[in-house]
Structure 1
Amino acid sequence: MTAPTPYHPGSRAVQDRVGVREVADHVGRAIGPGIRPVAAAFLELQPMLVLGAADEGGRMWASLLTGRPGFVRATGPHQISVTGRPAATDPLAGVLTATGTRVGTLALDPRTRRRMRLNGAARPTPRGLAVEAEQVFSNCPKYLQRRELEAYEKGPGRTGAVRRGERLAPDQEEFVRAADTFFIATTAPDGVDASHRGGNPGFVRVTSPTTLEWRDYPGNSMFLTLGNLEADPRAGLLLVDWAHGGTLQLSGTARTVYAAGERTLRFTLERTVWSEGASPLRWSAPDYSPANPPR
């Protein structure tokens, strides 16, 4: 009999191409549907949650939810509750009012360089959202910049000016070039995933107002994000202004280019949303991860 695997054919294809199937099988044992007590305790300390999903038109987006610690909590061994939803101006506001929306969530704590992913199906609740877990697992702290939470400026769900477009404006290009972190939402037949990418400023290259590139640094060998893109090129990116609370959301497609022993992701954007002051959280300057490769 073939042992059950958490990987779909897209991830398997990338694992085989890179030659890490056995390593992936080993680390994949950590993926399960249950929320352990240590994971539940971690969630209750978090002031932010990244959520990925497709909008009504099928475009992928990654959105930021924030709240006082406890706004995300486990309500059972296979379910989390989130107080609040994205602002009305967020691309995912409408789709999260429906039951059964496939979502990927990422709880990431810059203070401790810890993160965990929980993927499943969402449904609206009177106070926000509930997510029924199908995949739950933690990731290593690689490429995660340490930051301290310095202030909570206002209640969540309020935003200032919102700018929408189909290409990066010059100030947005500079914002992307200066980034040390972004989040990426991808999808495949078995669900949606939200993940993190980090590096020293400049690790994301703006090659035109509609195209970005970044190297795929060595990770846990699961290749969930690249595997999803192998099956479905749709992707949503989220960049956060950690000091002032703005968010830049990008939706488009991505593909992996293999060459000379390394992998490069090329992202073509189709829609942009800049939300001024979308997050009430104000974070310190970063302490860069010692794992970050030089530019």
Structure 2
Amino acid sequence: MSAIGFHEGELSVQRKAGVSHDAARLEGMLRPALLEGGAKKFLAQREFAAITARDGAGRMWTTALTGQPGFLDAAGTTLTVHTAPGPGDPLHGLPAHQQVGLLVIELAIRRRVRINGELVRSASDELEIAAEQAYGNCPQYIHPHTITQPASSLPVVTDGALGEVETALIESADTFFLGTSHPTRGADTSHKGGEPGFVRIDGPDLWWPDFPGNNMFNSLGNIAVDPTTSLLFLDFATGTALHLSGTATLQWDAPGETGRAVRFHPTRAVLNSWG
């Protein structure tokens, strides 16, 4: 993932949305990453991140990583994460030498940084990422939450069907994390927020409106090229986590301010605790 600038999917969505000129002004944010200065300090103070990667079978998931301040250790273009997905997590034992997307977010102060790159080392208690992109996002749609440290529990794995617990978690959510990928640019993790109920369940599928943002369309651009998608919903009060893996499509005639929406079809689900 060494190319710089927007890829063909991002460019196509920008053109269709009529924002190519505005997006071009932000293309410099995609320059090669350097995790020093303010970025290094921000990372060192955080306690939460969400990572998108593929499991040993090649299925894509997004999951949470938590730790005390200092568990995200940056130096130059290397980010060492002093934790890893544990037993019962769909990304437990995730293979190294794959592209991953990491979103480091502080919900209380509404700040976030996206770091995309190669997972060069994966151990039972540590991950090492060679960062290729690192940039901040605006605080829009971030709802303040306190990170909990829930007790562990055995996962419940299904073929993607949503039961009562999963439905209640989705319908009450004001926050979720979205994982997407591009065949040559790798994985990406983004934050999505809205008023509770902004994610709708429609039969076996989920859909949500695409709100106005920075016009870069990193996630939608990935989906336009590769429908492989993963979602992570978290109950911040109980520590329940819902991981969904499946495919997504873009809709351009949806209700709402932008007329854009994403429809997601889950093919696999894992319900467990996070932290």
TM-score band (shorter)?
A: over 0.9
User: Could you tell me how far apart the structure 2 residues matched to 1:68 and 1:152 are?
Assistant: 11
User: Could you tell me how far apart the structure 2 residues matched to 1:229 and 1:255 are?
Assistant: 7
Aligned residues with identical type, % of pairs: 36
Unaligned runs of 5+ in 2: none
Q: CA deviation at 1:127?
A: 4.3
Q: CA deviation at 1:163?
A: 0.7
1:270 to 264, 267, 270: 267
Tell me if the contact between 1:180 and 1:203 (Cα under 8 Å) persists in the aligned partners.
yes
User: Could you tell me how far apart the structure 2 residues matched to 1:178 and 1:164 are?
Assistant: 21
Alignment of 1:1-295 (within 5 A): 5-32=4-31, 33-74=33-74, 76-94=75-93, 96=94, 98-122=95-119, 123-125=121-123, 127-149=125-147, 152=149, 159-166=152-159, 167-189=161-183, 190-208=185-203, 210-259=204-253, 261-276=258-273, 278-279=274-275
Residue-pair matches, total: 266
**TM-score scaled by structure 2?**
0.92
Task: Show the counterpart of 1:289.
Answer: none
Tell me if the contact between 2:84 and 2:124 (Cα under 8 Å) persists in the aligned partners.
no
Judged with a 3 Å threshold, the aligned counterparts in structure 2 of structure 1 residues 110 and 34 are, in CA distance, closer, same or farther, namely same
Tell me if the contact between 1:251 and 1:270 (Cα under 8 Å) persists in the aligned partners.
yes
Tell me if the contact between 1:182 and 1:239 (Cα under 8 Å) persists in the aligned partners.
yes
Tell me if the contact between 2:103 and 2:113 (Cα under 8 Å) persists in the aligned partners.
yes
Q: CA deviation at 1:22?
A: 1.6
Judged with a 3 Å threshold, the aligned counterparts in structure 2 of structure 1 residues 48 and 233 are, in CA distance, closer, same or farther, namely same
Q: CA deviation at 1:57?
A: 2.8
User: Could you tell me how far apart the structure 1 residues matched to 2:25 and 2:125 are?
Assistant: 39
Deviations 1:28-86 (A, max 9, x none): 21223222311111111111110001223332210111111111120x21011111110
Tell me if the contact between 1:87 and 1:159 (Cα under 8 Å) persists in the aligned partners.
no
Tell me if the contact between 1:5 and 1:25 (Cα under 8 Å) persists in the aligned partners.
no
Q: CA deviation at 1:148?
A: 4.0
User: Could you tell me how far apart the structure 1 residues matched to 2:217 and 2:37 are?
Assistant: 26
User: Could you tell me how far apart the structure 1 residues matched to 2:259 and 2:11 are?
Assistant: 18
